[in-house]
């Protein structure tokens, strides 16, 4: 057992309001530079939609992630053979047009324009060439455009849905969407690290943050291809690749990353998880249907005395173990089983987990009920009169199957196509709601409530805990950041021992006999 | 007048190679150690990928073969002469070299055209790129010219130029044979030294860091601030440099 600690994240999609504050916070701190304008280390996508870069999930185009053949996994579009053979020209490299051409506006024209018959306009100009352009794309170009043929219908996750199911998603009155905020997943089996010919990309041992050494990167640009989430970006100006650094300078000083700190919907959670690094290869090579369970099985119980002992033997600080015990992500992912990894079939073992959204799923269309129709205004009635929204809590679990978003769609995103896993999470979330309705309204029979809780596999206490961490949790409960132990490291990469024996402040000359 | 040409020969065939080697060695070490953030192949494929294929691939493949050809004539001249002892093999070698030389020329042509016409690529083009591109074009044109007009280069390279280069490295420069060569060949030699001079100061540095260690490196890389286990060992207690892992 080789126990390591990993900073992991949970995004609660039901709470995301799609405000893009996270993206802006990140942009302002890290990527507001020449060559990085087009990069959005954090971006928010509307689902169903094509995302950023366009159709990034479709690996038949981008060739990212790992694929399994004959029981072993290999990189789909990079790796030692493919990477070195394609080093002069990488056929699988996305180009800037797959993201968008960064632009600004000639704002000064608004102020400095001489008096004319017409109002002056601020023309858009390319941030690459400086020449006027017609804007064709942006990082959130399909924002809120669910149902449109150009975006939602080209969502790669719709591939294995029946035509009827697809059509049902796009009927105007059934149309629904949700937001998918994405950052680097800081994977346990990162494809970007494996693909880097110069060895510039590495995973930090202490907290699992994946970083690109800017001094070693030589622009072989294989990481851009290899990352199935397209979260490694090529800086066209400096000739170096860049990616989300999980705001490690903030983490090291106990602050939450900027995207998480600024999150308006408070959808983000960050905490430590202990895992067994010996299992990485085996679990990443599991059968597709077992991938989620395999990944979760690597995450260890931080209260188990054996685990604590092995963690200490491996040099993990007590403060980190304690942080793991209080970790909100451990609760969501392991204890409650509410959060799932995004596209586990890419086999990178991503450590950013998502609580699948329930709201658009659950507000379904049911058969007409007379009492309700009478209450509706004429406008609503003028739609198809046989159908209307059913938001009652009767037959709760029945409606999950008839949801506006087919479960298969959610499963394609969060469980490699296994609808049962997503359904289980939905049931738990619904049970929490039923429980809260019982506490606050009290109009449901006790038998019904307990049978629903039991059916979802949780009890009232756990439902309460889930409710608390989902709805009420304060900053310190959402972000449990272990101390970086800077007392052991004077500078990030310096060991105190190097400095301890030195002569004094200001320089590091070591005292020795003679020269 | 003769003494003028002798002086020229002395400068370009003795002075320049020593200058080039010194600048290359010192410059490369300096560049590698002190400008790490600017050390890159500066790929522009991200801004334009389709035209690049017809430039970069023929250029690099041709360069690889032609460079290895020159290198083998330098390192194993006897082997090359032995290979060339049969006329058929000689012609095969020369034709192969010439074809790959043409590939470089075609590649360079496409690269230059791309840099001149694509507005995005213009933005990431600097003066050094133009110097390198023109110099390499000159090199490949003179190279092809020499290969076509002064046959059979692979044989006389091994018997004329290899001893000359060896004499440079032995610090006993002997240019008696080389100085008698036609001026096109001399131009090609001088061009080669100039390329060597420019390597540390241009994007050509990327050829010094070809990532061959990727072949035997494990795929995943984890780095620690320091070695978690040995840092706790009493045997390292008073050592000044504690065990690190990166």
- Residue range B89-131, pLDDT digits in tens: 999 999 999 999 999 999 999 999 999 999 999 999 999 999 9
**B44/A contact by beta carbon, under 8 A:** yes
pLDDT value at position A395? 54
pLDDT value at position A193? 96
**B149/A contact by beta carbon, under 8 A:** no
Cβ–Cβ of B219/A239 closer than 8 Å? no
Cβ–Cβ of A204/B223 closer than 8 Å? yes
Give the position of tokens 């809120």: A144
Backbone angles phi, psi at B173, to 5 degrees: -60, 130
pLDDT value at position A80? 94
**A132/B contact by beta carbon, under 8 A:** no
What are B168-212's pLDDT values in tens digits? 999 999 888 888 899 999 999 999 999 999 999 999 999 999 999
Half-sphere exposure of residue B179: CA atoms within 13 angstroms, side-chain side: 17
Residue numbers of A between 376 and 435 with CB closer than 8 Å to B: none
Picking from A87, A234, A495, the nearest residue to B46 by CB comes out as A234
Picking from B124, B221, B224, the nearest residue to A199 by CB comes out as B221
CB pairs < 8 Å spanning A and B: 147
How far apart CA B48 and CA A95 sit, in angstroms, is 7
**A457/B contact by beta carbon, under 8 A:** no
What are A79-99's pLDDT values in tens digits? 999 999 999 999 999 999 999
CA distance A218 to chain B (A): 4
CA distance A55 to chain B (A): 17
Cβ–Cβ of A218/B223 closer than 8 Å? no
CB-based burial, A13-36: b 16+ in 10 Å, e otherwise: bbbbebebbbbbbbbebbbeeebb
CA distance B94 to chain A (A): 25
Picking from B57, B124, B238, the nearest residue to A236 by CB comes out as B124
**A441/B contact by beta carbon, under 8 A:** no
What are A216-248's pLDDT values in tens digits? 999 999 999 999 999 999 999 999 999 999 998
Q: What would the mean pLDDT of A435-455 be, rounded to a whole number?
A: 87
**B49/A contact by beta carbon, under 8 A:** yes
What are A400-414's pLDDT values in tens digits? 776 667 888 999 999
What are B16-47's pLDDT values in tens digits? 999 999 999 999 999 998 888 889 999 999 99
Cβ–Cβ of A83/B213 closer than 8 Å? no
Q: How far is CA A85 from the centre of its chain?
A: 32
Cβ–Cβ of B225/A206 closer than 8 Å? yes
Check if the beta carbon of residue A142 is closer than 8 Å to that of residue A46: yes
Q: Domains in chain B, please, with CATH?
A: 2-212 (1.20.950.20)
CA distance A149 to chain B (A): 28
Give the position of tokens 């033997």: A313
pLDDT confidence tier of residue B231, bands split at 50, 70 and 90: low
Please report the beta strands in B57-158, taking only residues with DSSP state E, as ranges in sequence order. none
Question: How are the residues of chain A apportioned to helix, strand and coil, as percentages rounded to the nearest 5?
Answer: 40, 15, 45
- Is residue B159 over pLDDT 50? yes
Interface test with A, best of B219, B235, B236, B246 (most A CBs within 10 A): B219
Residue numbers of A between 193 and 232 with CB closer than 8 Å to B: 193-194, 196-199, 201-206, 214-221, 224
How far apart CA B211 and CA A197 sit, in angstroms, is 6
Backbone angles phi, psi at A479, to 5 degrees: -125, 105
pLDDT confidence tier of residue A493, bands split at 50, 70 and 90: low
CB-based burial, A334-354: b 16+ in 10 Å, e otherwise: bebbbbbbbbbbbbbbbbbbb
DSSP secondary structure of A73-138: EEESS-SHHHHHHTSSS-TT---HHHH---EEE-THHHHHPPP-SS-----EEETTT-SB------
**B151/A contact by beta carbon, under 8 A:** no
**B170/A contact by beta carbon, under 8 A:** no
How far apart CA A320 and CA A316 sit, in angstroms, is 7
- Is residue A390 over pLDDT 60? no
Residue A242 with chain B: CB contacts under 8 Å: none
Residue numbers of B between 18 and 37 with CB closer than 8 Å to A: 36-37
Backbone angles phi, psi at A103, to 5 degrees: -145, 160
Please, what is the average pLDDT of chain A? 86
- Is residue A5 over pLDDT 90? yes
Residue B43 with chain A: CB contacts under 8 Å: 219-221, 234, 239
Tell me how crowded residue A66 is: count the other CB atoms within 10 A of its CB: 22
**A81/B contact by beta carbon, under 8 A:** no
- How far CA B233 is from CA of A513, B26, B112, B229, in Å, comes to 25, 41, 59, 7
Q: Domains in chain A, please, with CATH?
A: 10-252 (3.30.70.20), 357-476 (1.10.3650.10)
Tell me how crowded residue B208 is: count the other CB atoms within 10 A of its CB: 13
Picking from B42, B219, B246, the nearest residue to A194 by CB comes out as B219
In this prediction the ipTM stands at: 0.90
pLDDT value at position A443? 77
Picking from A80, A95, A219, the nearest residue to B215 by CB comes out as A80
- A148 by Cβ neighbours in 10 Å (0-12 / 13-18 / 19+) ranks as middle
Cβ–Cβ of A236/B36 closer than 8 Å? no
């Amino acid at each position: 057992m080789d126990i390591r600690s990993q900073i992991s994240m949970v995004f609660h999609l039901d709470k995301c309001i799609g405000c893009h504050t996270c993206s802006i916070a990140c942009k302002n701190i890290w990527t507001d530079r020449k060559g990085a304008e087009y990069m959005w280390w954090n971006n928010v996508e509307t689902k169903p939609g094509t995302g950023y870069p366009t159709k990034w999930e479709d690996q038949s185009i981008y060739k990212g992630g790992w694929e399994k053949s004959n029981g072993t996994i290999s990189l789909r579009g990079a790796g030692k053979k493919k990477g070195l053979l394609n080093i002069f020209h990488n056929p699988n490299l996305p180009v800037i047009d797959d993201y968008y051409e960064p632009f600004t506006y000639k704002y000064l024209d608004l102020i400095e324009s001489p008096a004319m018959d017409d109002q002056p306009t601020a023309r858009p100009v390319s941030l690459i060439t400086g020449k006027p352009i017609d804007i064709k794309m942006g990082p959130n170009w399909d924002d809120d455009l669910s149902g449109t043929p150009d975006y939602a219908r080209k969502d790669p996750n719709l591939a294995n849905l029946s035509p009827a199911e697809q059509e049902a998603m796009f009927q105007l009155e059934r149309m629904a969407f949700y937001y998918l905020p994405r950052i680097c997943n800081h994977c346990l089996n990162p494809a970007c690290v494996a693909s880097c010919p110069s060895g510039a990309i590495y995973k930090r041992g202490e907290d699992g943050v994946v970083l690109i050494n800017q001094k070693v990167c030589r622009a072989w640009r294989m990481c851009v291809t290899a990352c199935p989430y397209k979260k490694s970006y090529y800086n066209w100006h400096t000739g170096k690749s860049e990616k989300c650094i999980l705001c490690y300078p903030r983490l090291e000083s106990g602050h939450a990353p900027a995207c998480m700190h600024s999150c308006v919907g408070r959808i983000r959670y960050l905490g430590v998880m202990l895992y067994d690094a010996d299992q990485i290869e085996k679990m990443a090579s599991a059968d597709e249907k077992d991938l989620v369970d395999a990944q979760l099985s690597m995450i260890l119980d931080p209260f188990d005395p054996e685990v604590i002992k092995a963690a200490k033997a491996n040099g993990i600080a007590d403060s980190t173990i304690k942080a793991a015990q209080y970790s909100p992500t451990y609760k969501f992912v392991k204890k409650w089983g509410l959060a799932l990894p995004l596209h586990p079939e890419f086999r990178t073992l991503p450590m950013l987990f998502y609580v699948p959204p329930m709201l658009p799923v659950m507000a379904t269309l049911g058969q007409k009920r007379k009492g309700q129709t009478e209450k509706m205004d004429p406008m609503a009635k003028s739609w198809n009169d046989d159908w209307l929204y059913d938001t009652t809590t009767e037959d709760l679990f029945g409606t999950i199957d008839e949801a506006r978003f087919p479960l298969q769609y959610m499963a394609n995103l969060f469980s490699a196509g296994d609808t049962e896993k997503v359904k289980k999470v939905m049931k738990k979330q619904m049970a929490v709601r039923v429980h809260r309705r019982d506490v606050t309204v009290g109009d449901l029979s006790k038998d019904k409530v307990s049978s629903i809780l039991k059916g979802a596999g949780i009890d009232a206490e756990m439902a309460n805990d889930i409710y608390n961490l989902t709805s009420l949790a304060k900053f310190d409960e959402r972000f449990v950041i272990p101390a970086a132990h800077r007392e052991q490291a004077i500078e990030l990469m310096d060991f105190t021992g190097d400095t301890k024996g030195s002569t004094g402040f200001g320089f590091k000359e070591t005292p020795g006999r003679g020269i | 007048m003769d003494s003028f040409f002798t002086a020229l020969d002395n400068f370009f065939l003795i002075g320049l190679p020593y200058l080039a080697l010194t600048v290359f060695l010192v410059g490369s070490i300096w560049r590698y150690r002190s400008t790490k953030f600017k050390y890159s192949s500066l790929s522009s494929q991200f801004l334009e990928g389709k035209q690049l294929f017809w430039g970069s691939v023929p250029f690099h493949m041709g360069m690889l073969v032609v460079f290895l050809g020159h290198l083998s004539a330098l390192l194993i001249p006897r082997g090359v002469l032995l290979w060339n002892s049969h006329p058929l093999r000689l012609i095969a070698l020369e034709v192969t070299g010439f074809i790959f030389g043409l590939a470089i020329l075609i590649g360079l042509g496409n690269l230059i055209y791309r840099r001149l016409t694509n507005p995005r690529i213009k933005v990431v083009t600097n003066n050094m790129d133009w110097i390198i591109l023109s110099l390499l074009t000159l090199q490949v044109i003179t190279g092809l010219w020499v290969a076509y007009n002064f046959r059979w280069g692979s044989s006389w390279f091994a018997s004329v130029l290899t001893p000359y280069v060896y004499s440079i490295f032995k610090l006993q420069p002997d240019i008696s044979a080389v100085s008698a060569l036609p001026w096109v060949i001399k131009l090609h030699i001088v061009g080669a030294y100039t390329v060597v001079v420019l390597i540390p100061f241009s994007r050509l540095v990327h050829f010094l860091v070809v990532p061959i260690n990727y072949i035997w490196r494990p795929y995943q890389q984890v780095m620690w601030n320091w070695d978690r286990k040995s840092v706790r060992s009493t045997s390292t207690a008073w050592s000044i440099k504690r065990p690190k892992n990166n």
